[in-house]
Structure 1
């Protein structure tokens, strides 16, 4: 399953393909559109911790937001938990790639414990909501340790419909990322790759059950608009996004080609 990332809420009525939308995008809506396509929700954890070095949203608030989207929008496949990323920039803080990071100044192990504890808390608060577990770490051994933390907490990851893999998207095209994904896949876990670009999908995609990408928007921002389009660029343009999606998926090897045409999901 391939979820097309977007910052536009109304696309759930018009896009005709599965979408990946941040809770921040839903949070801005006074009224929410009714979905005609399936979609998944990002918890915006990276932005939250990058800016503040901690979560400023409570689990109860987040549960309320997920429930609102599930009930008012409908067709919600799942929502990410309030996990703690493990990138060095997130932990140590400072300027990286032109962005400022507050820094948590905690260890990878502490981020992992907080990630697992939050998932358990959310599942206790709202067992009816499709909030998924996410594996966090930096080295391969970190992710294996995180999986073991879930197991010790009574969470059978291979039995979960989908499990996210965090802190990989910015190095998805590396051998290290491929090793992380393939190692976790051998445990029989259905993995979701957050923020995967086409090159990363080409390397790791055969070990993923699903992935999302907003890469089309950055791609469009660096180029002139499509013929006949009057905006400065197509960074928020649905026709551009859908054309990018078709090209990206057509360019993948046939090992696990997602269905191109609809929101129906993988063919059985």
Structure 2
């Protein structure tokens, strides 16, 4: 199989088209990259054991896997240099990705304090929100130093609007102008997106002129603040499929890992989004 040889520096950063939102379908099935040209969102660790590589037909972006890393281990176990090597390997074998998220430190209470929530156990980092923010900014600086040519996206973190504002200040003091970045991840809003607090955070960050990516967005979140985002991703289709009848003619137990179901779900979400936010555009490739 011929591998892409284009250098990351040779192409413009893969940001959504002006005036539109790119909606990524989140999946752990990396072979979907060869099956559809719909934008996909995959975790970097899903490529760790890859032997056969599938060249991407369409746009895709890479998640660093930070939530599970901090949830299960309470710290990052993959060194930044290893992460950079992994990103280069993905680029070379799969093709140019839009961007890859940095190794950020989420600020949800469960991540920091630990405990059991909705049946999931969190070990807890036992650190402060401020320390999580400091480590997030420091990681981005290290990754950019190691690989200035790679499309690594910074992430802003916090647990309330003043905390997110503080994170912006940390980036600014470090010499990083987030307004010049093709995309900026908005962390720790996945479970807040459809609430008033979540909407306040998204609105406040968008007011700074940032091209925001919303991690793990669902229908209600998109309806409320999707017009403020440059892009978003969602894996909600899988849990949706797990609790509903499988598609006609499908023989598996349910469609929780089914690309046909995922694509149909995505179409419904985007139709609902366009209906709920009149005048909003979606990128043609989305």
Q: How does 1:25-174 map to 2 (within 5 A)?
A: 25-174=46-195
TM-superposed CA distance for 1:171, in Å, is 1.4
Structure 2 unaligned regions, length at least 5: 1-21
Q: How does 1:246-261 map to 2 (within 5 A)?
A: 246-252=267-273, 253-259=277-283
1:15 is aligned to 2:36: yes
Structure 2 CA distance for partners of 1:28 and 1:256, relative to 1, 3 Å: farther
Q: TM-score, normalised by structure 1?
A: 0.96
TM-superposed CA distance for 1:175, in Å, is 0.5
Q: Supply the distance in 2 between the matched residues of 1:112 and 1:28 (Cα, whole angstroms).
A: 31
- Post-superposition Cα deviations, 1:55-77, rounded to whole Å, max 9, x if no partner, equal 01100110011111111101300
TM-superposed CA distance for 1:106, in Å, is 0.3
Q: Supply the distance in 2 between the matched residues of 1:257 and 1:234 (Cα, whole angstroms).
A: 29
Structure 1 unaligned regions, length at least 5: none
- Post-superposition Cα deviations, 1:16-53, rounded to whole Å, max 9, x if no partner, equal 20000011212231232111111000100000000000
| Alpha carbons 1:6, 1:19 under 8 Å: kept | yes
Secondary structure of the residue aligned to 1:77 is: coil
TM-superposed CA distance for 1:169, in Å, is 0.5
TM-superposed CA distance for 1:114, in Å, is 0.1
Secondary structure of the residue aligned to 1:170 is: coil
TM-superposed CA distance for 1:116, in Å, is 0.3
Residue 218 of structure 2 corresponds to: 197
Q: TM-score, normalised by structure 2?
A: 0.90
- CA root-mean-square deviation: 1.0
TM-superposed CA distance for 1:224, in Å, is 1.8
Q: Supply the distance in 2 between the matched residues of 1:24 and 1:121 (Cα, whole angstroms).
A: 20
Aligned length: 262
| Alpha carbons 1:37, 1:75 under 8 Å: kept | no
